[in-house]
Structure 1
Amino acid sequence: MHPSFIKANEEKQRSIINAALNEFSKHSYDNASTNAIVKEAGISKGLLFHYFGNKKNLYLFLFEYVLDKYAEATFAELDLTEPDVFQRYKQIISMQMNIVQQNPAFFNFMKMVSIEKSPEVTSELEKKQSLKEEYNYDKLLTDIDYSLFKEEIDTKYALNTIKWVLDGISSHYNLQLKESNYDIDVFNTLINQCTAELDEYFHFLKPLFYK
């Protein structure tokens, strides 16, 4: 975290974040300009580097910020009283679609992140995303009803299988989205197709795992 930035007033924070999102959504990490960011944000370059130290720290902060906002929006609406893990996954897919539609700036930024090639940031992006996903996965499983599973089923393997199926389907549709150059209309179509296919797999898996 960057304490000096967090202490800045909300309007200044918002201006910097929006300017950085705009610049990094248009350009790769290497080609993005901090000069353009400070100009749009209406601050000095010295102040930007006072907050973040360098462009890399700003970029990684922005990445974590967007991931956190996605997670916050998801878990704010997720019904943790729903005991069925299959239903929880369905909720999350629906919420992710809504979040993307409501926050096109986030979508455009993550689009560029997904094709980022700069060795200065790619390994750290992967580490940060992996940690966030692990934390969110544990949170997703809060208070699910393990008694729904057949007694002879190892719930750890069952949950891993469900997650691997979801990851595999998501990867398939993410590849199609990438080939479309991340067109938002294509995203909406693909997310509906993904949801329908996921329903079919869940329909197949439920009788295998549940009583």
Structure 2
Amino acid sequence: MDTERFDHIDLQNEKVLRIVNCGFEVFAKNSFEKASTNLIVENAEISRGLLYHYFRNKKELFEFLLYFSGKKIISNMVDSVDWSNTDFLLRVRQALISKIETLAEYPYLYEFCDKYARDYAEELAQKLMPDISSRLFKENLDFSQLRKEVDVELMKSTIVNALSKLITKILKDGTGLSKTDIVLRETAEIDRYLEFFRTVFYM
């Protein structure tokens, strides 16, 4: 996907954000073929001309939504992580809460990503920040407090897989809740898991 063509779009522009939120909803609730740009224009309360000022056609808007979702999730995660802290579980916590906050801010982003973005996730991550996975799970981390019999990579894989399933459940169960309610409720659940992992894997 050619993401460079979207570099000129102001991701903080209020009208762009209205297009994004309405676009996520319309594409999440419909197939690509049935997703209506007329409905997006109507719900976003913008002119059709403004939509086509930013995007040449429905396909380009759809690809921008893929780009925007990846950009937001990754950039917010990078900004939320304390890279000076060497505790792996704390880093996981910060990354997960950042992701929940981002998805809660855009109510249909999760449904959109779940429906369309799986096939593009790796490609987008490589284009937007190719080292993000390595940074999250390797950069400036100290595993010296692990139990001596623990395989570090197997532990990472176990924790990431378990928490990925938890996040999926959180987002599906969060429909209709406010961003604050989702973050407060699910932070406690994440902490419960992380406390268990610390007891199992750490001295």
Q: 2:61 aligned with 1:64, yes or no?
A: no
Identity of aligned residues (%): 16
Q: Cα offset for 1:147?
A: 2.0
Code of the aligned partner of 1:139: R
Alignment coverage as a number of residue pairs: 189
CA contact (8 A) 2:26 2:39 kept: no
- The structure 2 residue matched to 1:40, chosen from 27, 47, 61, is 47
- The structure 1 residue matched to 2:91, chosen from 72, 88, 91, is 88
CA contact (8 A) 2:103 2:109 kept: no
Q: How does 1:47-58 map to 2 (within 5 A)?
A: 48-49=55-56, 54-58=57-61
- The structure 2 residue matched to 1:139, chosen from 127, 135, 152, is 135
Code of the aligned partner of 2:71: D
- The structure 2 residue matched to 1:127, chosen from 119, 137, 143, is 119
Look at both structures and tell me which one has the larger radius of gyration over its CA atoms: 1
Q: Cα offset for 1:88?
A: 1.1
Structure 2 counterpart of 1:110: 109
Structure 1 counterpart of 2:161: 164
Where do 5+ consecutive residues of structure 2 fail to align? none
Mark the CA change 1:155 to 1:3 in structure 2 (over 3 Å): closer, same or farther. closer
Mark the CA change 1:55 to 1:136 in structure 2 (over 3 Å): closer, same or farther. same
CA distance in 2, matches of 1:94, 1:171: 13
Code of the aligned partner of 1:147: S
> Cα deviations across residues 130-180 of structure 1 (Å, max 9, x unaligned)?
553996433212221122323321101011111122112222222323xxx
Structure with the largest fraction of helix: 1
Q: Give the 4+ runs in structure 1 shifted more than 6 A.
A: none
Mark the CA change 1:16 to 1:48 in structure 2 (over 3 Å): closer, same or farther. farther
Mark the CA change 1:5 to 1:200 in structure 2 (over 3 Å): closer, same or farther. closer
Q: Cα offset for 1:67?
A: 2.1
Structure 1 counterpart of 2:17: 18
Where do 5+ consecutive residues of structure 1 fail to align? 117-121
CA distance in 1, matches of 2:118, 2:113: 10
> Cα deviations across residues 20-74 of structure 1 (Å, max 9, x unaligned)?
314414423432216965x63744848732xxxx422321222222321222122
Q: Cα offset for 1:204?
A: 2.1
Structure 2 counterpart of 1:205: 197
Structure 2 counterpart of 1:196: 188
CA distance in 1, matches of 2:9, 2:164: 39
> Cα deviations across residues 84-118 of structure 1 (Å, max 9, x unaligned)?
111112222333454456xx4xx1340551574xx
